[in-house]
Amino acid sequence: MARQNLGELEQVVLLALLRLGGTAHGASIRAEILGRTGRSITPGAIYPTLDRLEARGLLRSRLGEPTPERGGRARRHFTVTAAGLREVRAAWRQTSALAAGVAALKRGRRDA
């Protein structure tokens, strides 16, 4: 299968999902991103990104059981596929290779 370069948000979403054990629902993915990066991702951004990743075969989803409260909705749970893991690894290798040796990124350096 040909490489499918990941956008920055797609990479962040896949990494957060992997940090959560590879399977999670949208709200927990958003919370993980916020907790780790300080970046707030709106539902209007996360769900289209998850849908796009699923359409590309990089994750899959299933509908869970409805929440116990009255009128509770079923949550959609997302799981990273083998192809998704390959793509996030490849994106990480590219980023790491590009950043390697960049003096401005080394600890102790002040902003330019």
What pLDDT does 46 receive? 96
Computed on alpha carbons and rounded to an integer, the radius of gyration of the chain in Å comes to 16
Token pair recorded at residue 38? 């300080």
Q: Which domain holds residue 84?
A: 8-100
Whether residue 74 lies inside any domain: the answer is yes
CATH number of 29's domain: 1.10.10.10
Please state the domain count of the chain. Answer: 1
State the pLDDT at residue 40: 96
How is 60-71 classified by DSSP, letter by letter? EEEEEEEPSSTT
Q: Given this model, what pLDDT does residue 70 score?
A: 64
Q: What is the pTM of this model?
A: 0.83
Look up residue 5 and give its DSSP letter: P
Can you list the residues of the chain whose pLDDT is less than 50?
A: none
Interhelix angle 26-37/43-55, nearest 10 degrees: 110
pLDDT at 106: 79
Domain-located, residue 1? no
